[in-house]
A and B are shown apart, each in its own frame.
Chain A
Amino acid sequence: MTTGPLIVQSDKTLLLEVDHSDATACRMAIAPFAELERSPEHIHTYRLTPLGLWNARAAGHDAEQVIDALLKFSRYPVPHALLVDVAETMDRYGRLQLVSDPAHGLVLKGLDRAVLTEVAKSKKLAGMLGAKLDDDTIAVHPSERGRLKQALLKLGWPAEDLAGYVDGEAHEISLREDGWRLRSYQQQAVEHFWAGGSGVVVLPCGAGKTLVGAAAMDLAKTTTLILVTNTVAGRQWKRELLARTTLTEEEIGEYSGERKEIRPVTIATYQVLTTKRGGVFPHLAVFDARDWGLIIYDEVHLLPAPIFRFTADLQARRRLGLTATLIREDGKEGDVFSLIGPKRFDAPWRDIEAQGWIAPADCTEVRVTLTDEERMRYAVAEAEERYRVASTARSKLPVVEAIVARHAGDQVLVIGAYLDQLHELGEHLGVPVIHGATTNKERERLFDAFRAGEVSTLVLSKVGNFSIDLPEATVAIQVSGTFGSRQEEAQRLGRVLRPKSDGRQAHFYTVVARDTIDTEYAAHRQRFLAEQGYAYTIIDAADLVK
């Protein structure tokens, strides 16, 4: 019996014992074909999915390698049926190819005539395929490339897309690596993305996703469209690109509510693209404004539905998705994978932390006991009001105050969801509040002041969830959130994960009301981070306040 670090489960999950001496080698061997599902402290869970196996095939791995890796590292005998299944699944890939035919344009070629006949008959492909050119070739409407690939994937006969990408307008972009270098995982991420053509890179908050984007632009050297969540995030991208690449101010345009510039590199917000006027999306034209060679989707887990639909038509262009948490509470992860591309790179948060690229974080859940009056108010509240009543309880104020006091001298962010509570907190602590209605100018001013250390504490609404680069923030205190959203929790933790100049530890506090639905939601919110290996310490508010 071997004593490998890997245990193969019959439901096709793989358990990797992290403390095993071969764990790193094993992770390297299985990462190309198995998807990392959870990475808590002792045992990481990977899953074998058809999609993952096909992606591995697309990246040049064959079934033999997969089976070898499983047998080599498995601690226990691997069920024969599972090995057969892996081989059969991988064998389904590439029987069909999407090829650019010099005479007929985009065609679907069957290397296995029976498979081509089978899929051609499928109702699910109706309207996507054109005329039958010969026994092994069927014309494809170029506009259906994305949808066809999606549909074929669902039929279980994934097509190998060899039709390539349009080059777009060439535009010189290079990284300027003076005094810094691309980190090894960023380098790997870009390489995996480039080899695959399109896809999603998953990296923790603060691990430098922008640089992965910049490096991709360096490889593509073409006009690029960058889609971001909001204007502030867009400006951060711009700052970062100016600092890290050869791009100049004039080459980067902003396409937002305020400005409508189309330049070789254009940064557009989701919000402006999905603005609807008279039943149409007037700003979607930005996709056609230039011959983009690369499209970058920042925070791809937030991609709104209309952009999905439009993305299906952009299959001939290279697409890069960036995110920290590919969890969509709407369950649309599958659409992200099939339209933007499969996951090309993923790294456990704790690994990157261990390499020192993100700050080590200490997560604490503070349990507040509500006063009797608050408990009564909670008890009689309507079901839909309960979370609000519990999470905005006034008892949290002194607790937040105590935490802020505990971290005197640190840069502290207080993050919440309910405006009343935030204003109350702002008043109580005597600090500025930033929320949706705060103007961009005011936001920039406050953030600058925070970065400069002039303001040590900020109260943020949901606007603070994403893409705000506040490197010196070391403490985040969460008082309320969007119910049980796991990715929100991760994003908020991400606010304090930028590595600190002095290597200091980051602190993340979440203040919850004991014995209410707030605790339940908190447990759900923490799940993603717990799966990433962040163990929350629970303390009693009373211990803090006294």
Chain B
Amino acid sequence: MTYDFAEALRALPDDALGALLRLRPDLLVPVPSDTSALAGRAQSRVSVARALDGLDQFTLEILDGLRLLSAPTMSALLALTDNHEGVRGAADRLRARFLILGDEDELYLVPAIEEVCSPFIAGLGRPAADLGADIADLMGDAAKMRRTLLSASPQARAMLDRLAQGPPIGTTSAGSDAVEWLIEHNLLAEVSDGVVELPRELGLLLRRETGPLGHLHPAPPEAAGSPKDMSLVDKAGAGQTMSAVRHTEELLEAIAADPIPVLRGGGFGVLPLRRLAKATGLSEQDTAVFIETAYAAGLLGELDTATDTFFTPTTSYDLWRGAPLAQRWARLAWAWLAMTRQPFLAGSRDEKDRPMTVLSPQLERAGAPDIRFTVLEALDTPGFAPTADELIAILRWHAPRRMRNREGAHRSALREAGLMGLTGHGALTGYATALLRSSPDDDPLGVRDASPTAAERLDKLLPPPVDHLLVQADLSVVVPGPAEPGLASELDVIAEHESGGGASVYRVTPASIRRALDSGYSAHDLHSLFKRRSRTAVPQALTYMIDDIARTHGGLRTGASGAYLRSEDEALIATVLADRSLGDLNLRRLAPTVLITPFPGPRLLQALREAGYTPVPEDASGATVLSKPKVKRASGRSGKQPVFGSLSDATVNGIVEDIRRGDARLRAALRAPAEVRAAAGHPMSSLTAVQAHSQALSVLQQAVREKARVWVGYVDAHGSQASRLVRPVSIGAGYLRAEDERTQMLHTFALHRITAAAPATE
């Protein structure tokens, strides 16, 4: 039976067609030109497979029911099971996707379904007719079949029952008596060595109890365990968001301190990963997740140096660090949701047994965001916190075909959601729900009076930023809460970070004070900073330490200068310094006996001499360098050997040949035959383009044979017309190879560019 699919589509009202496109969005890539194209695509195997992937287990079971019927009708379908309402619902879903069409009393299945589904419909074997004549005979005789079945040993019967549950295929271990008996009595077909199949008829008979479709699953499995209290969920999640942000920051700081070289194949090696994991106390797996997320969020990037490429934090990392905690988290969470990468693969090996490393292209998986959305959407009921196994079972019911071989990815998505703080106690947090409901470019102008964003909702759960600190006698500085960005950046300069989390602990060390002084703080600034920010008295040990270090800070000075001037005679030095004629030298006094200038030694020497002093230069060890006045001389040129005598014959011949060729070139430019020029764009030609082309080819072939010179008119790479006098060498593979007499070079012309050819008349 055939069915005019295109006609059916064409007959659809607009909104129904729109609904179909929404249900099967892959039909729109690329946008089909007309209904027949759409119909073709909708019946293609790929698209049908996609549509089936999105169906739940029950709908697929009902689809199997339809496949089982030789002449599918609604009433026949309803006869298969008692759950009429469910069946109608499933049939509607199939119909909405154009997987089944037609009237209730004559349903039509898209043929591609048969090709992309298992041959074992509803877990039943193939009909006996396909399995051999003996079996078909037995199955045809219902009474005999029953008798044979009853005579089977309990062991054999159990085996049949198991196969009847589906799948109908089993492997047999050699020498199993029960299997031998079943094959012998035609209750099982041996389809290949050691593989047996239960005929469909027998399967249906054995399924008397459950119905021909076997056990149906009209509803998803239930998760045990009571719903979690949302306030606890949010709290646990919020705690985790803080550590997710903190860990990301720690990792990026560690990378900033010691940039990690990019491997040749992309990504970074196992050793740096292990080092980072150790430094931050995270597992390698979690480290990989945070790093991948940071990269996806644009906080980590590659920096090209002259020698190597390194991973370092990006400039937007600095902006990110200054943002409020909730926003920082939201950025990470979005990046995690949307990244097309699967960090959990890091550390395993690919199909070619190469290790897959963090940030390498091997972790790229286009389907990754879908998997994360699927997992989070399945959790999107307040307080619903299934175990990983329960969640997988639920997802498997919702889209059994899609879940095949992807359980690992779903499990790790669930785990990572916990790690990033989207879930708490295994349930989706309130702010993560807000995250799922929005998208960053949903409302770019913020015109809509939207419900609070994820970051706003999270912000309410997070402790408010703290702008003060506690300084203790052991020189530790504690910010008892998340530090306000300004405070954090100040502390980063003047103290060493020791631990983070709910609060931050820093320690002031001599090195950190020195760093602060180097970066422009004065001792006074530091004192007042501690005084202003500290809720408690600043311990004396800290005050002293700052003063002590400030006192010696800058006790040694370094700098660059061009030359120095020294003398034991302080008065003489003073005179030189005061000498106005030496003002251009920018002399500066370092000590009563030493002056320096930014200019090089010879200039200083000369200027001093001109001013009437008698300086003597010294070398690096302080010894006097004696100098004799030098007479200036220019560097000469070595003259060319003049050539005497007559020119050699070879030289002369060469020159003549050059001249002749020059003449020829000049003439040739004028001499290109009219037809060549005409074909090359002039309307003179009486031939059509095709004719001209085939004529040109025959001329060229002739010329190759005769080694004669021809004029070739062609369109060059820039589309302009040109003609050239050449001696063709060969034609083949769409190209003409020919020697240009003028330049004595071999040229290659694409044949399709040649517009005309004419023999040279010479």
Contact = CB atoms under 8 A, between A and B. Distances in A.
A79 B244 CA distance: 9
Contacts of A515: 548, 552
Given A15-B480, A78-B236, A80-B425, A531 B474 contact: yes
B418 A80 contact: yes
B504 to A, nearest CB: 9
B478 A42 contact: yes
B243 A10 contact: yes
B323 interface: no
B480 A7 contact: yes
B283 to A, nearest CB: 10
A114 B691 CA distance: 86
A286 interface: no
Contact of A10 (B247, B475, B480, B536): B247
Interface in A487-546: 515, 519-520, 523, 526-527, 530-531, 533-538
A256 to B, nearest CB: 39
B724 interface: no
Interface string B230-244: 000001111110110
A530 B541 contact: yes
Nearest to A6: B502
A40 B473 contact: yes
B265 to A, nearest CB: 31
B476 interface: yes
Contacts of A459: none
Contacts of B501: 7-11, 13, 79
Interface string B76-98: 00000000000000000000000
B405 to A, nearest CB: 27
Contact of A77 (B236, B281, B499, B540): B236
A9 B474 CA distance: 19
Interface string A5-27: 00111111101010000000000
A121 to B, nearest CB: 23
A9 B499 contact: yes
Interface in B447-463: 461-463
B426 to A, nearest CB: 9
A362 interface: no
A81 B243 contact: yes
Nearest to B236: A80
A76 B476 contact: no
A83 B425 CA distance: 10
A359 B117 CA distance: 86
B500 interface: yes
B502 A530 contact: no
Interface string B524-554: 0000000000001001110011001000100
Nearest to A536: B541
A40 B476 contact: yes
Contacts of B476: 38, 40, 43
A11 B246 CA distance: 10
A79 B474 CA distance: 28
Contact of A41 (B243, B419, B472): B472
A530 B544 CA distance: 15
Contact of B240 (A17, A81, A530): A81
Contact of B503 (A7, A77, A80, A527): A7
B540 A536 contact: yes
Contacts of A40: 472-474, 476
Given A10-B247, A11-B281, A74-B502, A79 B242 contact: yes
B546 to A, nearest CB: 12
A75 interface: yes
B728 interface: no
B481 interface: yes
A82 interface: yes
A80 B237 contact: yes
A383 interface: no
Interface in A452-497: none
B244 to A, nearest CB: 8
A41 B534 CA distance: 14
Contacts of A526: 541
Contacts of A15: 478, 480, 502-503, 505
A1 interface: yes
A11 B544 CA distance: 31
Interface in B281-316: 281
Given A11-B501, A40-B474, A80-B425, A538 B235 contact: no
A97 interface: no
B125 interface: no
A75 B463 contact: yes
A45 interface: yes
Contacts of A12: 281
Contacts of B425: 80
A38 B474 contact: yes
A79 B246 CA distance: 11
B424 interface: yes
B548 A7 contact: no
B470 interface: yes
A81 B419 contact: yes
Contacts of B552: 515
A43 B471 CA distance: 9
B548 A76 contact: no
A538 B236 contact: no
* Max count, chain A CB within 10 A of own CB: residue among B243, B473, B500, B548: B473
Interface in B102-128: none
A122 to B, nearest CB: 21
Given A10-B247, A11-B500, A41-B472, A77 B239 contact: yes
Given A9-B502, A77-B242, A536 B281 contact: no
Interface in A246-304: none
Interface in A64-97: 74-83
Contact of B418 (A17, A81, A82, A537): A81
Interface string B475-502: 1101011000000000000000001111
A82 B499 contact: no
Contact of A76 (B239, B281, B473): B239
B506 to A, nearest CB: 12
Contacts of B510: 520
A76 B544 CA distance: 35
Contacts of B474: 38, 40, 527, 530-531
A527 B461 CA distance: 37
A79 B243 contact: yes
A74 B463 CA distance: 12
Contacts of B503: 7, 9, 15
A488 B750 CA distance: 92
Contact of B539 (A10, A45, A81, A535): A535
A530 B478 contact: no
A379 to B, nearest CB: 13
Nearest to A11: B499
Nearest to B281: A11
Contacts of B242: 10, 76-77, 79
A75 B463 CA distance: 9
A75 B472 CA distance: 21
* Max count, chain B CB within 10 A of own CB: residue among A40, A79, A82: A79
Contacts of A83: 236
A41 B540 CA distance: 13
B502 A7 contact: yes
Interface string B393-433: 00000000000000000000000001101001100000000
Given A1-B463, A75-B463, A80-B425, 12 more contacts: A7-B502, A8-B239, A9-B499, A9-B500, A40-B474, A45-B505, A78-B239, A80-B237, A80-B424, A526-B541, A530-B474, A536-B473
Interface of A: 1, 7-13, 15, 17, 38, 40-43, 45, 74-83, 515, 519-520, 523, 526-527, 530-531, 533-538
11 contacts: A8-B502, A9-B499, A10-B500, A12-B281, A40-B476, A41-B472, A43-B476, A81-B419, A523-B541, A535-B473, A538-B541
The 4 closest A-B pairs by CB, nearest first: A77-B239, A9-B501, A535-B473, A530-B474
